[in-house]
Structure 1
Amino acid sequence: MKYKILLVEHDGSSLRVLKRVIGKANLDVVTATTLTEAKIIFENSTPESFLCAVVDYALPDAPHGEAIDFAIASFVPVIVITSQTDKDVRERILSKAVVDYIPKSNSQIYEYLSRLLTRLEKNRDVGVLVVGGNTRSRNDIYALLNRHNFISYQAANGEKALEMLNQNPHIKLIITDQKLPDMTGVDLVSKVRKTHTKESLSVIGTSEKGDAALLANFIKSGANDYLRRPYCHEEFFCRILQNVEYVEQIEVIKKTANTDYLTKLPNRRHFFAQVEKIMHSKPQSVSLALIDLDYFKTVNDNYGHDFGDVVLKETARMMQKHFAQDVVSRFGGEEFCVFLSNIEASAAKEKLDAFREAISEKSFKYKDQQVHCTLSIGISHKRTGKIESLLSTADEFLYKAKARGRNCIVDE
């Protein structure tokens, strides 16, 4: 679903620039120059179709933030832009349930707005768990998180928090008070870190005390950050976004390190790591297949490397679909590998042969050209042994498949 942004701005030059900024975030823009126009737009739309509203504080028919109140009442997250920078206006804006406010005098307004809009869209898939014995304090944090489109959860004690964490793998951040009915916040952090690393789950400890020793205890127990109450709206969200983005950046780094750049399949190193985990569980049976595209050099020589890349990427896509329950990898060049566990040798061979036939019937197309390719496959079936032994045997059988004329399977 592509979300819309309601942009309410009366200044023509600002309106044009803001439309370009929002468009670069791959979001549709619906514009209004007055509160009256914004109301008409909402009458003919559903609030759920809007990611948020970007609203100027002072409009010709709403000079004192009335458009902000209207958007909030329509259940749409609101980002306020304003040319008024005095303290009273700032406090008036932040007293409302807004996502954020951005002074027009800020030279970084457009870059920050683009980042904020991207973040609001991403947050729809990010879970945040709020833990605390004080219901009012917990609800206040919960409400703040909802402004930023997070999937928010609440737990009144530590044991409930651990249960909810195990049930919701999309939780990327825990905000926990020090005072809990059944344990301390520091104790909760220690329990969480037994199963979740700092790189996979951020934790922020909170407390009303400004005790440096408590801050140190939270950090030493595995918390990523610490927030003293009372805190201002802006500090709260800066800390939240910083910790969520830290986890996301680590995920991107890991994915990049474990993925083949061209085909997006797991690379050889990650393949070994995945298979080793499965082998430790002692599966009843395993099969490992080495798959090689026949005469692939000819494809590159006759049609060019761009066409060759198309063949590799399409083969990888078909492989991911056909072996959705198995471990697949691009080993390099035109060679791929599949690891199948808890499947009998005959069934594994049948599954691989079906894939071989699918590739042989596939017409690979690029621009005005097309080509057909075939596969040679060597399979090793062993219930025990190391991965290196499986690979060695599969490689031996792949060589035999090539020697037998290609487009065939050889196994033990």
Structure 2
Amino acid sequence: MSSPSVFCSEKLARLAGGFDSHAPIRVLVVEDSKTVRYQLRGYLQLLENVTVVEAETLAETRELLTHTPEPFFCAILDLTLPDASGSEVVDLVQTFKVPSIVLTATLDPMIRQAVLDRRVIDYMFKTGAAAIEDVAYLVGRLRQNREMTVLVVDDSATFRIHLSRLLEQYRFRILTASNGLEALALLQEHQETALVLTDYYMPKMDGLTLIRQIRRDFRREDLAIITLSDATHPDLSAAMIKAGANDYLNKHFQVEEFYCRIVQNINMVRFVRQLRDLANRDYLTHLYNRRRLFEIAELRLSSARKQHGPIALALLDADHFKRINDHYGHATGDLALKKIADVLRRGSDSHDDLVARYGGEEFVCFSTLTADETPACYFEALRRRIEAIDLEVNGERIPLTVSIGYTTDSRGTLSEIINRADQAMYQAKAAGRNRVVHFETQAS
């Protein structure tokens, strides 16, 4: 039998990468067929940071769940096992609060209903390699769903809880509101929201008015809206879709239909966001590219000037980068740039900096400082963290340093500010590299 490395899937590759690394997850696979386990393991391992734990029987599954301290992200369960032939394995796994995907060769109406009653994520058929790939793809989507926010709007607390529980199965972040006014306030606070589920009949602001208000700020491709109402008013669906809803769902829905519509609309928003991110990001480091840097930095600069807030803009250049490329190869040079970008990204996450790849081995860091912050200390700390990067090739450590020039002079255009930082960076190079130089200091 071939190694799982022979598995290749463009579909899964799109889930494996991304601009932010995925946290490791553990997936439990309970399946007595070696062939199916092998296929599942192969496809799941195409996803990034996935550990597959396998069992062949109900007894082995119980042993794993009882004695494994680390939690499982989800479980993929065959209904027919040597020591079980129904929903026993689903009941067992759910006792440990592990969301489950049921994998089966056949599914008659009674078993289907029994599976759905147990609130599994989904059931899928073992109809060949393509179906197994779809199972792995669903796992990848579930992990991505943790980054997607869904807002549920309904005046019935019972129905809000019902929808929230269904969405939790698919690992979405969930917000809830009891009327349109509450929903609008939450959207202002959580503008990353990808989907709104809203009822029509609500106090203070009905669903139709809410949709019209949302569409003043969010386009259909940026934020999807699914409306829910009962079948007694069939004309509502057309009215709400014309007002700006993406989809309509009867409140007496089948769970499978609910999930299909949710996934379809979430995927549309996710796809648009990914395309937008690709246009705004550098392909190698996944930092913002030069074009996006100017767009965002202009806005931040304008805001800082209005609030009379201090700013600092730094240009960082990797030292002796041509030597790294020539001696160790361009693959090592690319790795060096990625590692520098990782340091800058971690710094920006904790400090709300704007970081971008400016070109070649140059990076820009735009920081809006607080009154008690010293930019010299901040950029010196960045320099030290980059100097401490552990980059090795064939057991040989490769020194990796940067020269940093920065300015706190916010006068003039953004290009003029960057030019001042650039002059300070060349001063740092001339002074011996691997140091931080302030433009005003060297120009005086």
TM range (shorter): 0.7 to 0.9
AA partner of residue 315 (structure 1): I
SS class of match (2:364):
strand
Structure 1 181/305 Cα, relative in aligned 2: closer, same or farther at 3 Å? same
> 1:90 and 1:98 mapped to 2: Cα distance?
11
- Letter paired with 2:101: I
1:286 aligns to 2:314 (yes or no): no
Residue of structure 1 aligned with 2:354, choices 327, 338, 343: 327
1:90-142: CA deviation from partner (whole Å, max 9, x where unpaired): 34433442222223347742122111222233334433222112344333322
Structure 2 residue corresponding to 1:296, chosen from 321, 325, 340: 321
Contact 2:410–2:417 (Cα < 8 Å) also in 1:
no
Matches within 5 A, 1:61-72: 61-72=83-94
C-alpha change, 1:67 and 1:262, in structure 2 (3 Å) is closer
8 Å CA contact 1:131–1:156 kept in 2: the answer is: yes
Residue 313 of structure 1, CA deviation: 3.1
The 3 A distance-change label for structure 1 pair 201 and 217 is same
Deviation at 1:168, TM superposition (A): 4.9
CA distance in 2, matches of 1:381, 1:329: 18
The answer to whether 1:227 aligns with 2:254 is no
| 1:337 match | 364
Q: In structure 2, what is the equivalent of residue 161 of structure 1?
A: 183
Aligned pairs for 1:205-224 (under 5 A) are 205-209=227-231, 213-224=235-246
Give 1:142's aligned amino acid: S
Post-superposition offset of 1:344: 7.9
How far the C-alpha of 1:275 sits from its partner, in A, is 0.9
User: Are the structure 2 counterparts of residues 66 and 212 from structure 1 closer, same or farther at C-alpha, using a change threshold of 3 Å?
Assistant: same
The one-letter amino acid of 1:32's match is: E
Partner of 2:67: 44
For 2:37 and 2:243, how far apart are their aligned partners in 1? 49
What TM-score results when the alignment is normalised by the length of structure 1?
0.82
State how far apart, in whole Å, the 1-side matches of 2:378 and 2:384 are.
10
Aligned equivalent of 1:391: 418
C-alpha distance in 1 between matches for 2:391 and 2:104: 55
Structure 2 CA distance for aligned equivalents of residues 261 and 126 of structure 1: 23
2:337 partner letter:
L
Q: 1:129 aligns with which of 151, 155, 163?
A: 151
Partner of 1:78: 100
2:228 counterpart letter in structure 1: T
Decide whether aligned partners of structure 1 residues 91 and 351 sit closer, same or farther in structure 2, where only a CA change above 3 A counts.
closer
Task: Tell me how far apart the structure 1 counterparts of residues 79 and 327 of structure 2 sit (CA, whole Å).
Answer: 63
| Aligned position for 2:338 | 313
State the Cα distance separating 1:285 from its structure 2 match.
Answer: 3.3
Change in 2 beyond 3 A, CA 1:211/1:364: same
- CA change 1:121–1:320 in 2 (3 A) is closer
Of the structure 1 ranges 151-160 and 230-239, higher mean CA displacement relative to structure 2 is found in 151-160
Give the letter aligned to residue 117 of structure 1. Answer: V
Question: More displaced, 316-325 or 202-211?
Answer: 316-325
Instruction: Specify the code of the residue in structure 1 equivalent to 2:322.
Output: K
Displacement of 1:251: 2.8
RMSD in angstroms over aligned alpha carbons?
A: 3.6
**Using a 3 Å threshold, how does the CA distance of structure 1 residues 398 and 192 change in structure 2: closer, same or farther?**
same
Q: Which residues of structure 2 form unaligned runs of 5+?
A: 1-22
The CA distance in 2 between the partners of 1:131 and 1:238, in whole Å, is 19
State the alpha-carbon separation in 1 of the partners of residues 65 and 76 from structure 2. 14
Q: Which moved more, 1:344-353 or 1:110-119?
A: 344-353
What is aligned with 1:115? 137
1:202 is displaced (CA, Å) by 2.4
Of all paired residues, the percent bearing the same amino acid is 34
Distance in 2 separating the partners of 1:404 and 1:74? 62
* Equivalent AA in structure 1 for residue 67 of structure 2: N
Counterpart for residue 264 of structure 1: 286
Say which is worse superposed, 306-315 or 242-251, in terms of deviation: 306-315
Give the Cα–Cα distance (whole angstroms) in 2 for the partners of residues 36 and 57 of structure 1: 14
Unaligned runs of 5+ in 1: none
Q: Which piece of structure 1 moves more, 304-313 or 225-234?
A: 304-313
User: What code does the residue aligned with 1:341 have?
Assistant: T
Correspondence 1:28 to 2:52: yes
Deviation at 1:240, TM superposition (A): 0.9
| Distance (Å, rounded) in 1 between the aligned partners of 2:390 and 2:188 | 45
Q: Go from structure 1 to structure 2 and tell me whether the alpha carbon gap of 1:133 and 1:13 turns closer, same or farther (over 3 Å shift).
A: same
How far is 1:307 from its partner?
3.6
Bigger mean CA offset, 165-174 vs 327-336? 165-174
Specify the alignment match of 1:103 in structure 2: 125
Deviations 1:196-247 (A, max 9, x none): 4444432211111376753343334332322233322211111111222222
| Higher CA-based Rg | 1
Whole-Å Cα distance in 1 between the matches of residues 372 and 430 of structure 2?
Answer: 23
Q: CA deviation at 1:269?
A: 1.0
Q: What TM-score, normalized by structure 2, do the two folds share?
A: 0.77
Conserved in 2, the CA contact under 8 Å of 1:198 and 1:224?
yes
